[in-house]
Amino acid sequence: MNFEHAHPVALCVLSMLAWLAVSIPMLWPFTLQRFMDRSPFVLSVANLLLELAVMILPKAFRGTFEFFLGHSVYYKRFETDWQWINRWEMHVGSAFFWIMLAGATWGLFNLCRGRARISNSFALGVTLLIVYYRSHFPL
């Protein structure tokens, strides 16, 4: 059994703390100029940690989600339909993918202006690597 299924709360909290540990030093001290220059890194690279945390939120806090949903997070509408948790993960993954692309576009714009070259190049490179991986090895 993997760590996600055995300890979802711990993985959720650890990935959120890791996201904070990467994002805050990247943007500290908080000025508008630093935010504009380094946000593409946070949107493209650091948000992978936040994506993991958001994806496993229903598993980590199952009782809360089931209370608000009115049914189990593993509920299937029809016999051939996907479970609710699988749909949640697909939609969260798509949303974060588009956020990552927006961060890469912002990073490309910053690179053209010559600002924060290392962090923006890294953000663009990681995004291109993930887009290549998703296009050549679909799940």
Q: Indicate if the pLDDT at residue 131 is higher than 80.
A: yes
Q: How far apart are CA 137 and CA 117, in angstroms?
A: 29
- Under the banding of pLDDT at 50, 70 and 90, the label for residue 132 is very high
Query: Mean pLDDT across the stretch 36-50?
Result: 93
CA angle 131, 133, 138 (to 5 degrees): 105
Closest CA to 73 of 65, 6, 81, 107: 65
pTM equals 0.86
> What is the arithmetic mean of pLDDT over 89-115?
94
